[in-house]
């Protein structure tokens, strides 16, 4: 593909991504994969170049652009090579009209910028939310030690005991260590907030929003495969991915329970007041993971955020019923908005007088409200809020 053809391909994909963001359609990665499947003539270098153009444009535009051309015009204002591709050549985009309006660069939609600032994130912290994310893996301590894993370019992270940071283009899923269950792809921040649970062998633990089980597997490793670990979720497709992952990782203590939305308390009645720790990796806006899913900020609305906040509060109240006296709820969101983090923890403590916030000792992060916060700018991880709420 010629440079103009690459730019036009990126514009075409951006049109689809923008429409999907507006209508609640497929994620950008899915749309790009489908686009490349329809362009089998594109070689690996072409695909990489087009993908980079698409994501560079997404990261640049804070508000949802009018269309893909407007987004790419904004990028052209910063990159002369992109601007030169608007030459009207065959398969390339038409020449730029002097009266055309490019999309406006920015971190996020204005209402979200205001919310981030109100949550204590300055300009540098906000901009870091859109940098390219690193590639981290967690070494499965059930089967290996970090020093046992040899992957070219891997660097141990001093602040995360089981983490290795790999070169961005590493094909982790093709490495023998992955096939053998020795490693899992997991951001260092996600590893740290799991460590914050402080689980130990023999405990009874519930992962209330387990999803596909990334944190469940990390919990099992911290428990040395001893105890009882219940992973629940309302998403059948995601939860079904956990058993084969657990088998590959040598995890034998994890059991799964698919919950019916709205009937969680009823289905968990047998677990009432029995857990030492309940982890809530709550559904959230994902503002802390924009580095990986930058178009997510185009999808989030104030109404959607309000609904997420209600779900988070409900899950916290549910978790409180599952913890034994002296046990703890560990509340985690991959969001940096106080409405989903510090404010939720504070509201829970107001609703539950017999509970208190417990100190969390992590090798990274800063105190924030009743818990701790990890950010890309300060900690080189995805953004997280984590709080430990303990009953007396």
Q: Which residue has the tokens 């403590």?
A: 349
Q: Are strands 228-233 and 183-185 parallel, antiparallel or unpaired?
A: unpaired
DSSP letters for 43-62: -HHHHHHHHHHHHHHHHHBS
Q: From the annotation, which residues make up the binding site?
A: 233, 281
- Find out whether 223 and 253 touch, Cβ atoms under 8 Å: yes
Annotated active-site residue 334? The verdict is yes
Phi-psi region at 326: left, alpha or beta (left = phi > 0; alpha = psi -120 to 50): left
Kindly name the residue from 61, 197, 284, 334 that is annotated as catalytic. 334
Which residues of 67-151 form beta strands (DSSP E)?
135-139
Residue 125: which of 389, 374, 392, 385 has the closest Cα? 374
Separation CA 154–CA 151 (nearest Å): 6
Cα-to-chain-centroid distance, residue 128: 15
Contact between residue 24 and residue 301 where contact means Cβ atoms under 8 Å apart:
no
Ordered alpha helix ranges (H), 240-301: 242-249, 264-267, 296-299
Per the annotation, binding residues for S-adenosyl-L-methionine are: 233, 281
| Buried-exposed string 91-120: b where 16+ CB fall within 10 A, e elsewhere | ebbeebeeeeebbeebbbbeebbebbeebe
SS (H, E, C) 327-377: EEEEEEECCCCCCCCHHHHHHHHHHCCCEEEECCCCCCCEEECCEEEECHH
If you write DSSP's letter for every residue of 140-207 in order, what string do you get? -TTT--GGG---TT-EE-TTSTTEEEE-TT--GGGSHHHHTTSEEE--HHHHHHHHTT---TT-EEEE
Contacts of 354 (CB under 8 A, 6+ apart): 391, 392
Task: List the catalytic residues.
Answer: 334
């Amino acid at each position: 593909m010629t440079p103009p053809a690459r730019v036009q391909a990126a514009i075409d994909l951006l049109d689809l991504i923008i429409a999907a963001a507006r209508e609640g359609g497929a994620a950008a990665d899915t749309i790009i994969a489908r686009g490349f499947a329809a362009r089998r003539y594109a070689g690996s270098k072409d695909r990489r170049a087009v993908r980079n153009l698409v994501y560079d444009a997404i990261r640049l535009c804070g508000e949802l652009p009018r269309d893909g051309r407007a987004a790419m015009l904004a990028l052209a204002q910063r990159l002369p090579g992109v601007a030169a591709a608007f030459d009207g050549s065959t398969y390339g985009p038409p020449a730029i009209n002097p009266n055309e309006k490019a999309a406006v660069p920015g971190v996020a939609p204005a209402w979200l910028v205001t919310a981030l600032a109100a949550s204590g994130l300055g300009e540098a912290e906000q901009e870091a939310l859109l940098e390219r994310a690193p590639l981290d893996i967690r070494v499965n301590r059930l089967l290996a030690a970090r020093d046992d894993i040899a992957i070219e370019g891997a660097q141990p992270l001093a602040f995360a005991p089981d983490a290795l940071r790999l070169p961005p283009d590493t094909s982790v899923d093709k490495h023998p260590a992955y096939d053998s269950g020795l490693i899992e792809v997991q951001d260092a921040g996600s590893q740290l907030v799991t460590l914050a649970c402080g689980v130990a062998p023999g405990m009874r633990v519930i992962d209330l929003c387990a999803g596909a089980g990334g944190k469940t597997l990390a919990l099992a490793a911290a428990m040395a495969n001893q105890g009882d670990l219940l992973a629940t979720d309302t998403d059948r497709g995601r939860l079904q991915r956990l058993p084969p992952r657990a088998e590959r990782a040598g995890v034998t203590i994890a059991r799964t329970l698919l919950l019916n939305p709205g009937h969680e308390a009823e289905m968990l009645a047998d677990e009432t007041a029995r857990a030492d720790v309940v982890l809530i990796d709550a559904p959230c806006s994902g503002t802390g993971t924009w580095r990986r899913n930058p178009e997510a900020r185009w999808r989030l609305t104030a109404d959607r955020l309000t609904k997420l906040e209600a779900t988070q509060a409900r899950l916290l109240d549910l978790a409180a019923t599952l913890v034994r006296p002296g046990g703890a709820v560990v509340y985690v969101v991959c969001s940096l908005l106080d409405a989903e983090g510090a404010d939720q923890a504070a509201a829970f403590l107001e609703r539950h007088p017999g509970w208190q916030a417990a100190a969390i000792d992590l090798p990274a992060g800063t105190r924030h409200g009743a818990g701790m916060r990890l950010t890309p700018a300060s900690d080189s991880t995805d953004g997280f809020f984590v709080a430990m709420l303990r009953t007396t």
